[in-house]
Amino acid sequence: MELSIVTTLYCSAPHIEEFCRRVSAAAEKITRDFEVILVNDGSPDRSLDVALSLALRDARIKVIDLSRNFGHHKAMMTGLAHARGELVFKIDCDLEEDPAELVGFHVAIKESGADAVYGVQEARKGGWCERISGMLFWKLFNALSSVPVPANLLTVCIMTRKYVASLVRHQEREVFMAGLSAITGFQQVSRVVKKQSRGQSTYTLRRKVALLVNAITSFSNKPLVLIFYLGTFICCVSGAIALYLILNAFFFKGYLMGWPSLVVSVWFLGGVIIFCLGIIGIYLSKIFMETKQRPYTIIRELYDRSEAASLRALARGNAGERLDGYWDHVKAGK
């Protein structure tokens, strides 16, 4: 297999058919030996039905149906693990990134000799709130993380078989693909991509904050180190203030009057303590999840019209109405 194209599906029904048509047309300019892997990430709409109808018409389209929604990054890693191509191209199917970019990425990786060519935005899309929140996300991540990641990094990327094999060896339960891609190493080069805006992003401010917290705590111990320095700073300041009050009481007979300052300082220190305990708690929760060694995704069914996959599926027998209908068409040669 020369080329694999991997994408994930979540509320993607309106885009899937157009995406497959355009990405297949781009792939055929490179080789006829390619596959398109569609990973259904527990989509609540008709994404799976649309994907299966396309797979029936084109044997090069494979569908991986996850048992529930696991998240974009985990679903993408699952798709990469099933890719068989010597080159693997990952991209979102929402058409914000043009599938025809495959041709340019293929030229770039051949000319550069790199192991991966990743896309970065020409300019951030969306309104001022989305642009500012995106800028702050990358600045905070790179300021606190020990793994530098290019700002405005996109999903779209083409990779060699060797690079993908190394990337999917990571077994973190909390997956942040930008960080994993960076720490995998190899020779990586960037390519500027113009990303189209197709409505409001599914990454709300709350999801961006959650992603930032997960990304930083997954790739850096700096927050824990900063807690030590914060505690040291507070001890030094409080010690200096205590010394001042003692000297003031002995030599100048002055006393600090008023309860408000005391209440404010207690609340402030209480907030700092709870904040620090919260950071420690996040790291402990990650240790807890990692020690469980749960799979980061579970595959309900793999729809692949290759002979080996067909025999495995038929041997499993009845696995639901969708599966029966799909393999009935396959056995009928449709």
Measured from the Cβ of residue 99, the count of other Cβ atoms closer than 10 Å reads 25
Give the per-residue pLDDT at 175: 74
Measured CA distances, 86 to 3, 5, 89 (Å) = 6, 11, 10
Structural domains in the chain plus CATH codes: 3-204+295-303 (3.90.550.10), 222-292 (no CATH)
Dihedral through CA 39, CA 44, CA 47, CA 50, nearest 10? 130
pLDDT along the chain (334 residues), means of 10: 91 90 91 91 89 88 90 87 91 88 90 88 65 69 71 84 88 75 83 71 63 70 75 75 71 61 69 76 72 78 67 43 52 50
| CA gap 311, 305 in Å, rounded | 10
List, in order, residues 6 or more apart from 144 with CB less than 8 Å away. Answer: 216, 220, 222, 223
Measured CA distances, 59 to 35, 93, 242, 305 (Å) = 8, 19, 77, 6
Give the per-residue pLDDT at 3: 92
Rounded to an integer, what is the distance from CA 288 to the centroid of its chain? 21
Task: State the residue for tokens 């995106």.
Answer: 134
Q: H or E segment at 210?
A: helix 205-219
CB 224 within 8 A of CB 283: yes
Give the per-residue pLDDT at 6: 93
Q: H or E segment at 117?
A: strand 116-121
Q: What is the DSSP string of 11-34?
A: S-HHHHHHHHHHHHHHHHTT-S-E
CB 31 within 8 A of CB 128: no
Q: H or E segment at 183?
A: helix 177-184
Burial class (CB in 10 A: 0-12, 13-18, 19+), 95: middle
Give the per-residue pLDDT at 177: 75
Give the per-residue pLDDT at 11: 87
Sign of the CA dihedral 309, 315, 318, 324?
positive
Burial class (CB in 10 A: 0-12, 13-18, 19+), 276: middle
